[in-house]
Structure 1
Amino acid sequence: MSGIAEFSYRLPMRAGGARPGSHPGASFGSGQQFAMHGRLFDHPDPRRLDLRASLRAARDEWLVRVHLQRVAVQVVVIADVSASMQFGTRRTKLHVAADFVEALGYSAFRVGDRLGMLAFDAAERDDLFMPARTGRGTGHLLATMLRDCASRAAGRGAIEGLRRCATRLAGRQALVFIVSDFHWPLEQLPSVLDMLVHACVVPMVVWDGAEISPPRHAPLLAVNDAESGEQRMVWLRERMRERWREGVAHRRGELADVFGARGIRPFYVEGGFDPEAMSRYFLEMTA
């Protein structure tokens, strides 16, 4: 397992739960962060007895120090396995996503969190579902499932598959990674994000270099829409190259607007997963 990438992550808010872990919690327990003084009768732990606070108390009663404990959280990956994720020049975007999932599995195991996975294309992929579990090899198992999965018929209904996956997590507190290239209409994405309002959502935008930069020397380019199967020839004049770059910038702006309206910042993966960049992302989120 030493060859697997690892990164650090923390939730930007306190998490509920009673299972000990590494994230700031909202429940009382055997933690290190002082929360308040309580009556010994309500919190019967003489080891945390505070004599000075008891002598200063208005009432004649023993007081103990009550602390907030650190807790484990549930981590869920919602992976896009539609036809466009099978595109890639050196490695497919789905394989890059699998690299991230493998690193996430090892990182979650190291801090004691449970990891699960949901997947979608035009519909929810029940064959790729994995309930949240703790284990050293969980990340490797999920990554293998993604690398070996076969895409189904192309279509433009990926948002419906994502909606069905989000419905499973509605109202739950968890760390949710949405791993996709987001090459589908975004009009219904806000309603999906609203179902995950109780979760910490991290959109992972996986793009290949050939998608975001036009070829430098190819005047005539054959393009194929992986989702619809449509094929066409494009004459790459300089104006077309400019429109290509403008389209990528416009898409970035659309994603920033949709996620930014809910206080979410997307994380871009272009070409390969960088665990150090992922650690910086969470460090900036929790700063």
Structure 2
Amino acid sequence: MTSLHEFYYRLPARAGGFRPGSHLGTSLGHGQEFAAHMRLLDNPDPRRLDLRASLRNLRREWLVRVHRQRVSVPVHAVVDVSASMRFGARASKLHVAADFLEGLGHSAFRAGDPVGMLAFDAVERTDLFVPARHSRGAGYAMSAMLREFASAGASARAGGAEGLSQAAQRLADRQGLIFLVSDFHWALEVLDGILDMLAQAYVVPMITWDPAEAEPPPGNALLAVRDAESGRQRTLWVRKTLRAQWRDAVAARRARLDALFLARGLRPIHLHGAFEAEAVSRYFLEAVA
């Protein structure tokens, strides 16, 4: 992983905390952003004495400058590792997620944020849990775990909101930044309740699809397909009508996901077959603009 995979991210709103970092904070302390003047008696720090403001003060009191400090926030990636995430024409969606995790670890270390990982399929995968930590190698460790899991060949289980709900309970009512990495090929009815649990955090949905599932194959031919989640197999005659239905179904699913997240003020990032650091940087630059 090179520095080309590092991406920019900042929270668009102020965050609480006292550990110095890169995000706009709500706490007062050492920083560059001026917040207010206070009496020297209330904040006895003569190093921040403001002589001009003190001379203009009608009460003739010594005033000191008080600043807001920038803070670090915990960053978590909640990754779907269900059977459908093993699909991919060139690289599986799990490998795309692993590329993202490697870039996330590098970027979080540069920003001064602790970073961790949670995973789920039908249930929470505690074997893939990595607590948030501030470490140069955190991204490499998380990425390696995910790649090893993807290539292990173990029986994959179907995904579901129940597994996501169990993982989300670890982060319920916590502030921070959460990347939700999934193809969302499961029932979405209970996703609202899960997002309620994560309402204190800034959630970034990352919809991970492979081009081979979003675009039907060209030409008329028989196509053997297998549902990655249920394992059911069937044979389709690919023709013009089926290709149109395929594209319509993909567009409808994408529109439903976008509408579900936008209703909560969340704008998803779409990953199509590869992780692009520049696209993630552009997403956050637009959010804080």
- Normalised to the residue count of structure 1, the TM-score between the two structures is 0.97
Alignment match, 1:219: 221
Decide whether the 8 Å contact of 2:220 with 2:239 is kept in 1: no
Residue 43 of structure 1 deviates from its aligned partner by 1.7
Alignment match, 1:282: 284
Amino acid corresponding to residue 155 of structure 1 in structure 2:
A
Q: Which moved more, 1:210-219 or 1:239-248?
A: 210-219
- Where structure 2 has 5 or more consecutive residues not aligned to the other structure, the ranges are none
Secondary structure in structure 2 of the residue aligned to 1:197:
coil
Distance 1:25 1:37 in 2: 18
Decide whether the 8 Å contact of 1:204 with 1:268 is kept in 2: yes
1:1-287 matches, cutoff 5 A: 2=2, 5-149=5-149, 150=152, 152-155=155-158, 158-287=160-289
Distance 1:93 1:217 in 2: 26
Distance 1:90 1:153 in 2: 19
Residue 154 of structure 1 deviates from its aligned partner by 3.0
Distance 1:125 1:228 in 2: 19
Amino acid corresponding to residue 162 of structure 1 in structure 2:
L
Alpha-carbon spacing, 1:4–1:148, altered in 2? closer, same or farther (3 Å): farther
Residue 100 of structure 1 deviates from its aligned partner by 0.2
Decide whether the 8 Å contact of 1:114 with 1:133 is kept in 2: yes
Residue 83 of structure 1 deviates from its aligned partner by 0.4
Residue 153 of structure 1 deviates from its aligned partner by 4.5
Decide whether the 8 Å contact of 1:154 with 1:226 is kept in 2: no
Decide whether the 8 Å contact of 1:212 with 1:248 is kept in 2: yes
Distance 1:65 1:154 in 2: 58
Decide whether the 8 Å contact of 2:180 with 2:205 is kept in 1: yes
Distance 2:99 2:130 in 1: 17
Residue 218 of structure 1 deviates from its aligned partner by 4.9
Amino acid corresponding to residue 40 of structure 1 in structure 2:
L
Amino acid corresponding to residue 188 of structure 1 in structure 2:
V
Distance 1:42 1:234 in 2: 76
1:62-116, Cα deviation, whole Å (9 max, x unpaired): 1101000011110000000000000011110000000000000000011110001
Amino acid corresponding to residue 224 of structure 1 in structure 2:
R
Residue 59 of structure 1 deviates from its aligned partner by 2.5
Identity of aligned residues (%): 61
- Where structure 1 has 5 or more consecutive residues not aligned to the other structure, the ranges are none
Amino acid corresponding to residue 189 of structure 1 in structure 2:
L
Secondary structure in structure 1 of the residue aligned to 2:225:
strand
Decide whether the 8 Å contact of 2:100 with 2:275 is kept in 1: yes
Distance 2:111 2:134 in 1: 10
1:36-71, Cα deviation, whole Å (9 max, x unpaired): 111112222111111122222233321101000011
Amino acid corresponding to residue 275 of structure 1 in structure 2:
A
CA RMSD of aligned residues (A): 1.3
Amino acid corresponding to residue 65 of structure 1 in structure 2:
R
- Normalised to the residue count of structure 2, the TM-score between the two structures is 0.96
